[in-house]
Chain A
Amino acid sequence: GQQLNQSPQSMFIQEGEDVSMNCTSSSIFNTWLWYKQDPGEGPVLLIALYKAGELTSNGRLTAQFGITRKDSFLNISASIPSDVGIYFCAGPKGGTASKLTFGTGTRLQVTL
């Protein structure tokens, strides 16, 4: 079945640094969604991407839909302590828009 692999699995960065993470798939996706999950909470939608090559920003966050439709990237600029959490990519599963497949997650930790 479809699988979304995220890298890095975890990262420690200093406050103020920029962060890059990516999500890759063995099959094509028509939509990419990026979520952030804080401990004990549900995922919060950050950015949605719908077209290959699309670049979308949300504040300090920028995400791109890869040209091959098999990958997506998320960048966070000038990280702050509240960026700590787990970032998941997700996309519709098996051609059906309604089921989301989630990636393996990137755990971000920020040191002061």
Chain B
Amino acid sequence: NAGVMQNPRHLVRRRGQEARLRCSPMKGHSHVYWYRQLPEEGLKFMVYLQKENIIDESGMPKERFSAEFPKEGPSILRIQQVVRGDSAAYFCASSLNSGTYHNEQFFGPGTRLTVL
């Protein structure tokens, strides 16, 4: 039973380029979350999606960042015109439910983005 898959594991971009991060949730999970982690810090929530819907994007920067979870295929976190401050580890998580209880989130291995 495969866990949450993310690719690529490492991504290097030059300032001004676009970064595309992919996430495939665990089998049977329809709730996807994206988090960002800076070195030596905890994870910070960015966005919560269900299939074809953005449910909560309160943690997403207003510009340059977007996320989608299409009917078919993985969830994509897209960062346009990357800047050095975007360098971080980006983690995707998925859950079976989203209610108050038993909504445990399971995380992927992350994508480490480095902006030169």
Q: Which of A41, A93, A97 contacts B103 (CB 8 A)?
A: A97
Interface size class of A (residues with CB under 8 A): 20 to 34
Interface size class of B (residues with CB under 8 A): 20 to 34
Q: Establish whether residues A42 and B100, one from each chain, have CB atoms under 8 Å apart when the complex forms.
A: no
Q: Establish whether residues B56 and A100, one from each chain, have CB atoms under 8 Å apart when the complex forms.
A: no
Instruction: Give residues in A with beta carbon < 8 Å to B.
Output: 4, 30-31, 33, 35, 40-45, 48, 50, 88, 90, 92-93, 96-105
Besides A92-B103, A100-B105, 4 other A-B contacts (C-beta < 8 A): A43-B107, A45-B105, A48-B104, A98-B95
Query: What are 25 A-B interface contacts by the 8 Å CB criterion?
Result: A4-B42, A30-B100, A31-B101, A35-B107, A40-B109, A42-B107, A43-B43, A43-B91, A45-B104, A45-B106, A88-B42, A88-B43, A97-B98, A97-B99, A97-B100, A97-B101, A98-B33, A98-B55, A98-B103, A99-B48, A99-B59, A100-B35, A100-B43, A100-B45, A105-B42
